[in-house]
Structure 1
């Protein structure tokens, strides 16, 4: 799969799993995405896809690398729909 395609899929999954915040943007925690069965089957390297999306300014979150367990409560915000 190419990166562009995976980033588009990530956008769809954040909309599906997230809720709109006070700024009207969709947001979801890393733990919710990581533990979702559909996302587990969809993304070969979720952390890599998130990093690529962050570099492209499609999403934002605190930190560089998200790890399951440690960063489950980190909020991922969708900047571009």
Structure 2
């Protein structure tokens, strides 16, 4: 897995699906990302890509691990455009 490439794709998809929050940052709910057909085709392991992006301070979200269903309403914020 090419992590920098995957994170770049994640940023593109977040910009496509997300909206600007009160701070002017792009944010998208985990459920929207997870359930999007295009994202499902791009990311083999969306949760792993999100964790790697969080570790590199590209995105931020509450908690360590996001699970489909349970965390669908968790906001993922893009820290870098």
CA–CA distance in structure 2, aligned partners of residues 78 and 4 of structure 1: 15
TM-score normalized with structure 2 length: 0.99
Tell me how many residue pairs correspond in the alignment.
Answer: 81
Structure 1 segment 23-42 matched on structure 2, within 5 A: 23-42=23-42
How many angstroms does 1:75 deviate by? 0.2
Unmatched 5+ residue regions in structure 1? none
Give the gaps of 5 or more residues in structure 2. Answer: none
CA distance, structure 1, for counterparts of residue 61 and residue 76 of structure 2: 5
What residue is the counterpart of 1:47 in the other structure? 47
C-alpha separation in 1, matches of 2:8 and 2:65:
20
Residue 73 of structure 2 is matched in structure 1 by 73
CA RMSD, aligned part only? Answer: 0.5
Counterparts of 2:80 and 2:8, CA distance in 1: 10
Q: In the TM superposition, what whole-angstrom CA distance separates every residue of 1:8-65 from its partner, at most 9, and x where no partner exists?
A: 0000000000000011100000000000000000001000000000000000000000
